[in-house]
Amino acid sequence: MTTQELQARISEELLLLNILNYSDIKTRYKYSGVVSNKADRHQDTITDLPLLDTIAVCLTTGKPWDVVAATFSGDCLILSKNGNISDEDEAAVGLFLSEVKRQGSNWTIALPFLFSHSKANVNKRLSRVHRAITDLFDDLCAKVTSYSETSILDEFHDAMNWIKHTHQEGETVGSILMRAIRTCRELSLMKVQPDTVSQSKFIEVIAFASILRKSRFLSEVTAGWTRTLSERVKTLKGGLDKLCQYTRVDWVISKLQQIPDLKFRWVSLRDELQDSGEPRFENDIDVIDAVQRAVDTPFSPEQIQLLKLRVPDLLDT
């Protein structure tokens, strides 16, 4: 395999890993049933991988085939992407890091950057949530009306910070769930713009998306449902997870407090490829073929249909 072919293959697999949300360790094991390698992992893996993925997501524009990968090497952030590295890429990293280094900031400090540099990617994640929750809207609302309620603390144990942010006097578990479902459906229609109105709406949809994804209701809602409906709920959960990933900028802020002089550099195979140019995906790539190459196994028609159902993002890249 030539260097150019190798880089094309690596770029292909990088895009697939991005689509599959590869570095979210907790989500991956929770839904895949894969045996965890936790005992063999480095002690920093559980924190660094999701953190690095968050940095990469924030730097990914959302343009076709644009995927960024990140890793740490000492006090240096190493970045790579599927495509040529430009002066704009250099400037974007510098701007992002300077924004999140501000004293007393939280994840919302990155919104102006995200709504400018990564607007297409943010809008793509919003639209995926909108499609998924609209597809299930009637079923979810019907489930809420017959749901056996517990206390608000028991129902939203892992989302109490968001509950405090959105809570209205006299609300019950059922009314909170209904408001979360409706708000996620309505506000996920938005197309973010670099203005304060978009920021306010985005924070609201993130709050209710966090409440819904962390509710006991969403983890139990599929009981008694058909396999198709259960798969759609998994798709919704995945979309909510990806949308709420932007709140992990808080982790990036904490990391930069530990490494205040963090440097960064981009790496590429430009020198090795010389005049051939850095390869990248063509827009007419067959994504199913790419998956088969990645796992080195041909799929049956039934497996292809199941893959399309389980990972709809593959067809929306």
What confidence tier does 292 reach under pLDDT thresholds 50, 70, 90? confident
Nearest to 152, CA basis, from 205, 216, 235:
216
Asked whether residue 38 falls in the same domain as residue 59, the answer is yes
Asked whether residue 77 falls in the same domain as residue 181, the answer is no
In the predicted model, what is the mean pLDDT of residues 95-112? 91
Which residues have CB under 8 Å from 136's CB, separation 6+? Answer: 229, 232, 233, 236
Residue 250 within a domain: no
**pLDDT tens for residues 303-316?**
888 877 777 666 55
Asked whether residue 124 falls in the same domain as residue 53, the answer is no
217, 245, 273: which is the final residue of a domain? 245
The reported pTM is: 0.76
Q: Token digits for 242?
A: 């990806």
Asked whether residue 280 falls in the same domain as residue 292, the answer is no
Asked whether residue 127 falls in the same domain as residue 70, the answer is no
pLDDT greater than 60 at residue 24: no
pLDDT greater than 80 at residue 214: yes
Residue 252 within a domain: no
Residue 170 within a domain: yes
Asked whether residue 186 falls in the same domain as residue 130, the answer is yes
* Angle made by CA atoms 171, 175, 178, in degrees to the nearest 5: 150
Residue 107 within a domain: no
Q: Token digits for 121?
A: 């990617």
Asked whether residue 7 falls in the same domain as residue 22, the answer is yes
Residue 227 within a domain: yes
Residue 108 within a domain: no
Residue 231 within a domain: yes
Nearest to 266, CA basis, from 3, 6, 82:
82
Number of structural domains in the chain: 3
**Beta-sheet pairing, 76-81 with 68-73:** antiparallel
Domain ranges, residue 292: 286-317
Nearest to 269, CA basis, from 87, 57, 44, 7:
7
Q: Worst-scoring range by mean pLDDT, 45-54, 108-117, 193-202, 253-262?
A: 45-54
pLDDT at position 102 is 83
Asked whether residue 163 falls in the same domain as residue 76, the answer is no
Asked whether residue 132 falls in the same domain as residue 236, the answer is yes
What confidence tier does 281 reach under pLDDT thresholds 50, 70, 90? very low
**pLDDT tens for residues 139-187?**
999 999 989 878 999 999 999 999 988 878 889 999 999 999 999 999 9
Radius of gyration of the chain (CA): 21
Pairwise pLDDT comparison (5 vs 232), residue with the higher score: 232
Nearest to 117, CA basis, from 61, 70, 160:
61
Residue 305 within a domain: yes
Asked whether residue 145 falls in the same domain as residue 219, the answer is yes
In the predicted model, what is the mean pLDDT of residues 88-113? 92
Asked whether residue 94 falls in the same domain as residue 132, the answer is no
